[in-house]
């Protein structure tokens, strides 16, 4: 029992979701000699619920995938795991497959009434009642602590990731993705966009902050519905949002951001009517987060100064000579 308690102490010492996930898998590995564990991630692709292993045990060690979820060769549809699919549909706390020679226990991770991940434990022998009770105890500690972390990482108004989580997410998201190649063997590129609601101060001044907050919530919902589950969306404060997007080409990234701009313009907001957003974006592979944010902010400023309700790419503006490189660490006002 002492090693398990020590692992629990280490597990709850983490302040990052992925490190916490790796730690709970290491803890579970202590509960069986022939046990294998995986952390499964759910996501949507072509209107289907997909599942893929995000972290797993291998030869007693726990490793994590460097693949983008959508391009992970290990992905499969949730329907291929019928016991787990039924568990999710029924909002149950666990599912079991008791087939020889392997026995599998699934424990979905529920956050805000939504299953966004699942722990999978597999071993050759059936799970004893005592073993299952210990596994469930470890899992409950993990889920409670994860809920606390998730709460601390979310913006209270919109539920999006907050600003303090940005650098950790940026470092992980900008890493090489692996997975099958596309677009003439070019790997997916990363793009960072800053989105700003045009004339938002006027909304607050004319209609009041309650309506202003409603606009922010609705824009956040449009962001969730417009981008993929594997993209990262943040509220940076006020009327400013940041999106981290993976796309194989600049043209495809531009299309995604332009599609969102048009969607906002076509939406009627209660009492307010129509609003618009300005968007500036850039490639995110080179430079520290503050430098990448600075380049996207220059493109956003150009959109604001040239009529608003526009999408502009920093790299394209530079190629056209419409912007000059002027970002230094001391000059960036975002931090």
d(CA 300, CA 311): 8
- The torsion region of residue 251 among left (phi > 0), alpha (psi -120 to 50) and beta comes to alpha
CB 18 within 8 A of CB 172: yes
Cα-flanking dihedrals φ and ψ of residue 306, to 5°? -120, 35
Annotated catalytic residues are: 239
> How many other CB atoms sit within 10 Å of the CB of residue 291?
16
**271 Cβ contact list (under 8 Å, min separation 6):** 207, 211
CB 174 within 8 A of CB 188: no
d(CA 310, CA 261): 7
Q: Which two tokens stand for residue 264?
A: 């906002």
d(CA 312, CA 11): 43
Strand, helix or coil for residue 49: strand
CA quadruple 175, 173, 26, 106: dihedral sign = negative
In the chain, what's the furthest Cα-to-Cα distance?
Answer: 69
> For the CA atoms of 233, 236, 240, 246, what is the dihedral angle to 10 degrees?
-30
Q: Which two tokens stand for residue 278?
A: 């300005």
């Amino acid at each position: 029992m002492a090693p398990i308690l020590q692992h629990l102490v280490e597990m709850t010492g983490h302040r990052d979701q992925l490190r916490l996930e790796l730690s709970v898998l290491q803890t579970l590995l202590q509960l069986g000699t022939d046990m294998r564990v995986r952390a499964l991630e759910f996501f949507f692709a072509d209107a289907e619920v997909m599942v893929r292993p995000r972290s797993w045990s291998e030869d007693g060690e726990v490793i994590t995938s460097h693949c983008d979820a959508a391009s992970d060769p290990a992905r499969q549809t949730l329907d291929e795991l019928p016991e787990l699919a039924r568990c999710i549909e029924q909002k149950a706390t666990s599912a079991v497959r008791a087939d020889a020679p392997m026995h599998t226990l699934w424990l979905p991770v529920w956050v805000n009434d939504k299953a966004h991940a699942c722990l999978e434990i597999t071993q050759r022998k059936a799970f004893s009642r005592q073993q299952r009770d210990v596994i469930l105890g470890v899992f409950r500690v993990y889920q409670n602590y994860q809920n606390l972390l998730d709460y601390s990482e979310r913006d209270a108004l919109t539920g999006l990731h907050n600003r303090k989580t940005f650098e950790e997410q940026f470092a992980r998201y900008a890493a090489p993705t692996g997975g099958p190649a596309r677009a003439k063997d070019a790997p997916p590129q990363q793009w960072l966009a800053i989105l700003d609601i045009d004339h938002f101060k006027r909304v607050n001044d004319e209609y009041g902050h309650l309506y202003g907050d409603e606009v922010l919530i609705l824009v956040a919902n449009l962001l969730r519905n417009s981008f993929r589950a594997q993209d990262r969306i943040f509220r940076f404060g006020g009327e400013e949002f940041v999106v981290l997007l993976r796309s194989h080409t600049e043209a495809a990234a531009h299309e995604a951001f332009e599609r969102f701009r048009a969607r906002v313009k076509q939406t009627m907001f209660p009492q307010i009517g129509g609003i618009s957003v300005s968007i500036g974006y850039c490639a995110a592979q080179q430079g520290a987060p503050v430098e990448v944010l600075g380049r996207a902010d220059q493109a956003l400023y150009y959109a604001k100064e040239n009529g608003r309700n526009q999408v502009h790419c920093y790299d394209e503006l530079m190629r056209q000579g419409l912007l000059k490189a002027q970002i230094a660490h001391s000059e960036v006002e975002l931090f």
